[in-house]
């Protein structure tokens, strides 16, 4: 197939890359060997208009990873075992992830916003026996432990890598008040993170890891309402981090990354952790991306150059009331993904910083980067062009066997080194997602996204076949929310769609038919959902109806509801 997009690549970006055949943790080993005293992680918090933070060098980080890996082995964790990580962006996440990878374990990313039932499903479905959890979240894990196969819980406190004064102030003012102080001494097989590091050998026993072995499980929702664990291999993640460094022309041991995207999300894991470590960049971790003072002050203080995010973050950045008080001109490059980027947001960001912003596209199943705007040749309202060694095709949405012509709309399919191995213990779903394409080749991932390719090879998204709602960069599957709504005693029928939200991109709206003789208020329904779902999934809007639009076979027509909402906005 002709690849018209190649002629739009920036100078110096090749069509193909020689990817290292290594396990992920080798990125850190190499960075520590070459740049042991270079700052790897900067971590702290904003106090008023100040930021107080401390750093770990690459040498210190690699040592902590070795000790954590040895600690896992001492506890009985073996190659192939799953280790869940339920943490915000912090040094402990990096140490736990790379320590797990170093002994051949599989990292299971767990959203810290999950409520107990969601944590329980993830742990049981993945067969996780070990979890690393923030102390403020420990009670959630403790409450579901008996219903799972968890054998070990490792607890860490957010303050552990704070600088001395900040740690002291946090202990006095916030630790107990905000639920970070917990007692674990009476809980079997429960350990403090720092005790694991301090009580073990400096090196783990060596483990041979092949690039095609699974490194990470990241759960993504589905139209059936059953989350699926996408199996991302070491090669998937190594290749994606490598090509992102090539695309962005990152400067080894020079660029400074602002890591706002959460590491439990594939975008944050790749762009905010693995990519900078692969090139020995300094990572300035932001555990709460809504803390815009922390973000802006950190950019200014550390002269950050690289900022991956989502449109809602950049809207907040652009419109923050005291933004002009900060020097943000060090930023040379920003990437926006996970939701459409309004051109006016891009233009304002570039005016403020003097840097470049591009849009990217990908999915959990593609590690995630599959498409990206060239830095020097971006195209507004497109998702860019396929990254090196990656092909995209547009096929008919009904059968997926016919390739569409330039400009014709169809389903986007993707083939490249970043495509997942498959879904965890779901062979049927894997076979439906990774198939033989119209060219007769295997390994094409059918994205479920609808779009087209223009005459220059730039791709454009027009719809989402899967009905995904994207709110603030989070993917929300209607079936997940509807399943909870149906648990409410008064709900007879329910349908969930995304509605326009100027800040989050979309928010969840639920349409509900109540059972005859039953009553419920909007606030009651919202509160019910917030008890059972991560807060970003819970509906923000409720509309009670006498009936819902349905097809001839009785299937609720979400599209009809979306169309109604769109028409009401236009009016």
Q: CA geometry: angle at 113 spanning 108 and 116, to 5°? A: 80
Q: For position 100, which CATH number holds?
A: 3.40.50.980
Q: Do residue 478 and residue 523 come from a single domain?
A: yes
Residue 326 placed within a domain: no
Query: Among 215-219, 356-360, 432-436, 501-505, which stretch is predicted with the lowest mean pLDDT?
Result: 501-505
pLDDT at 222: 56
**pLDDT tens digits for 372-394?**
999 999 998 899 999 999 999 99
Q: Is 130 helix (H, G, I), strand (E, B) or coil?
A: strand
Query: Among 48-62, 249-263, 386-400, 456-470, which stretch is predicted with the lowest mean pLDDT?
Result: 456-470
Query: Among 112-121, 223-232, 294-303, which stretch is predicted with the lowest mean pLDDT?
Result: 223-232
pLDDT at 570: 67
Query: Among 465-479, 484-498, 538-552, which stretch is predicted with the lowest mean pLDDT?
Result: 465-479
Q: Which of 209, 238, 269 is where one domain is finished?
A: 209
Q: Do residue 407 and residue 452 come from a single domain?
A: yes
DSSP 66-108: HHHHHHHHHHT--TT-EEEEE--SSHHHHHHHHHHHHTT-EEE
Q: Do residue 69 and residue 195 come from a single domain?
A: yes
Q: Do residue 485 and residue 400 come from a single domain?
A: no
Query: Is the Cα torsion angle 186, 191, 192, 195 positive or negative in sign?
Result: positive
DSSP 378-440: --TTS-BEEPTT-EEEEE-TTTS-SBPPTT--EEEEEESTTS-SEETT-HHHHHHHEE--TTS
* Mean pLDDT computed over 225-241: 94
pLDDT at 462: 82
pLDDT at 553: 46
Beta bridge partners of 134: 156
Residue 182 placed within a domain: yes
Q: What average pLDDT does the structure give for the chain?
A: 94
Report residue 124: phi and psi, to 5°: -70, -40
Token duo for residue 368: 């995630």
Residue 428 placed within a domain: yes
Q: Is the pLDDT of residue 479 over 80?
A: no
pLDDT at 480: 83
Q: Do residue 72 and residue 160 come from a single domain?
A: yes
User: With bands split at pLDDT 50, 70 and 90, how would you rate the model's confidence at 224?
Assistant: low
Residue 42 placed within a domain: no
Q: Do residue 535 and residue 456 come from a single domain?
A: no
Q: For position 434, which CATH number holds?
A: 2.30.38.10
Q: Identify which has the larger pLDDT, 264 or 226.
A: 264
Q: Do residue 146 and residue 199 come from a single domain?
A: yes
Q: Do residue 413 and residue 535 come from a single domain?
A: no
Q: Is the pLDDT of residue 49 over 70?
A: yes
**Crossing angle for the helix pair 522-532 and 478-485, to the nearest 10 degrees:** 110
Q: Is the pLDDT of residue 555 over 80?
A: no
Q: Identify which has the larger pLDDT, 43 or 505.
A: 43
Domain interval for residue 518: 471-570
Q: Do residue 404 and residue 502 come from a single domain?
A: no
Cα–Cα distance between 425 and 82 in angstroms, integer? 14
In the chain, the percentage of residues whose pLDDT exceeds 70 is: 97
pLDDT at 37: 99
Q: Which of 426, 446, 464 is where one domain is finished?
A: 464
pLDDT at 2: 84
* Mean pLDDT computed over 62-81: 98
* Mean pLDDT computed over 232-237: 99
Q: Do residue 509 and residue 446 come from a single domain?
A: no
Q: Do residue 63 and residue 117 come from a single domain?
A: yes
Q: Is 478 helix (H, G, I), strand (E, B) or coil?
A: helix
pLDDT at 48: 85
Residue 349 placed within a domain: no
Residue 27 placed within a domain: no
Q: Identify which has the larger pLDDT, 468 or 217.
A: 217
Q: Is the pLDDT of residue 552 over 60?
A: no
* Mean pLDDT computed over 310-334: 94
**pLDDT tens digits for 83-131?**
999 999 999 999 999 999 999 999 999 999 999 999 999 999 999 999 9
Q: Which residues contact 467 (CB under 8 A, 6 or more apart)?
A: 223, 477, 478, 497, 558
Q: Is the pLDDT of residue 308 over 70?
A: yes
Token duo for residue 545: 């109806």
Residue 258 placed within a domain: no
Q: Which of 209, 225, 255 is where one domain is finished?
A: 209
**pLDDT tens digits for 130-171?**
999 999 999 999 999 999 999 999 999 999 999 999 999 999
Residue 293 placed within a domain: no
> Global pTM?
0.88
Token duo for residue 465: 């076949």
pLDDT at 569: 72
Q: Identify which has the larger pLDDT, 556 or 242.
A: 242
Q: Do residue 460 and residue 477 come from a single domain?
A: no
Q: Which residue has the tokens 């979309």?
A: 506
In the chain, the percentage of residues whose pLDDT exceeds 90 is: 84
Q: Is the pLDDT of residue 360 over 80?
A: yes
Beta bridge partners of 435: 444
Q: Is the pLDDT of residue 225 over 80?
A: no
- For the chain, the domain total comes to 3
């Amino acid at each position: 197939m002709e690849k018209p997009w190649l002629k739009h690549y920036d100078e110096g970006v090749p069509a193909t890359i020689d990817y290292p055949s290594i396990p992920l943790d080798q990125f850190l080993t190499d960075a520590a060997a070459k740049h042991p005293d270079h700052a790897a992680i900067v971590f702290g918090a904003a106090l008023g208009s100040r930021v107080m933070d401390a750093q770990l060098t690459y040498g210190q980080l690699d040592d902590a990873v070795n000790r954590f890996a040895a600690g896992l082995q001492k506890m009985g964790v073996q190659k192939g075992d799953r280790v869940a990580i339920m943490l915000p962006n912090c040094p402990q996440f990096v140490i736990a992830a790379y320590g797990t990878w170093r002994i051949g374990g599989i990292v299971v990313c767990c959203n810290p916003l999950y409520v107990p039932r969601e944590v329980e499903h993830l742990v049981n479905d993945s067969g996780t026996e070990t979890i690393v959890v923030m102390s403020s979240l420990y009670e959630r894990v403790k409450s579901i432990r008996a219903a799972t196969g968890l054998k070990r819980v490792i607890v860490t406190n957010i303050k552990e890598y704070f600088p001395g004064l900040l740690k002291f102030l946090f202990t006095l003012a916030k630790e107990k008040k905000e639920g970070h102080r917990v007692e674990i001494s009476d809980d079997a097989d429960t350990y403090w993170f720092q005790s694991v590091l301090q009580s073990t050998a400096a090196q783990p026993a060596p483990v041979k890891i092949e690039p095609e072995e699974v490194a990470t499980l990241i759960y993504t929702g589905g139209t059936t309402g059953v989350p699926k664990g996408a199996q991302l291999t070491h090669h998937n993640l190594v290749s994606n981090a490598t090509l992102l460094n090539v695309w962005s022309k990152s400067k080894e041991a020079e660029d400074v990354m602002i890591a706002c995207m959460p590491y439990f999300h594939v975008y944050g894991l790749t762009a905010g952790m693995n990519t900078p470590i692969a090139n020995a960049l300094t990572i300035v971790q932001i555990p709460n991306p809504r803390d815009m003072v922390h973000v802006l002050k950190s950019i200014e203080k550390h002269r950050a150059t690289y900022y991956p995010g989502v449109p809602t973050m950049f809207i907040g950045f652009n419109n923050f009331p005291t933004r002009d008080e900060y020097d943000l001109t060090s930023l040379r490059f920003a990437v926006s993904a996970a939701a459409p980027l309004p051109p006016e947001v891009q233009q304002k960001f570039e005016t403020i910083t003097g840097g470049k912003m591009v849009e990217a596209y990908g999915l959990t199943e593609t590690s995630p980067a599959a498409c990206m705007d060239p830095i020097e040749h971006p195209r507004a309202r497109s998702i860019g062009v396929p990254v090196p060694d990656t092909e995209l095709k547009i096929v008919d949405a009904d059968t997926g066997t016919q390739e569409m012509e330039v400009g014709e709309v169809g389903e986007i399919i993707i083939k490249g080194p970043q495509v997942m191995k498959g879904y965890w213990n779901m062979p049927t779903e894997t076979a439906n997602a990774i198939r033989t394409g119209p060219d007769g080749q295997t390994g094409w991932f059918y994205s479920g996204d609808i779009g087209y390719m223009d005459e220059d090879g730039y791709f454009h998204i027009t719809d989402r076949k899967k009905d995904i709602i994207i709110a603030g960069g989070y993917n929300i599957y209607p079936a997940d929310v509807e399943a909870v709504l149906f648990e409410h005693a008064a709900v007879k029928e329910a349908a969930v769609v995304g509605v326009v939200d100027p800040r989050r991109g979309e928010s969840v709206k639920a349409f509900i038919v109540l059972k005859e003789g039953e009553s419920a208020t909007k606030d009651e329904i919202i509160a019910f959902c917030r008890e059972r779902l991560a807060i970003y999934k819970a509906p923000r809007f409720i509309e009670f109806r006498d009936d819902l639009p349905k097809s001839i076979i009785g299937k609720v027509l979400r599209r009809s509801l979306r169309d109604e909402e769109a028409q009401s906005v236009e009016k």
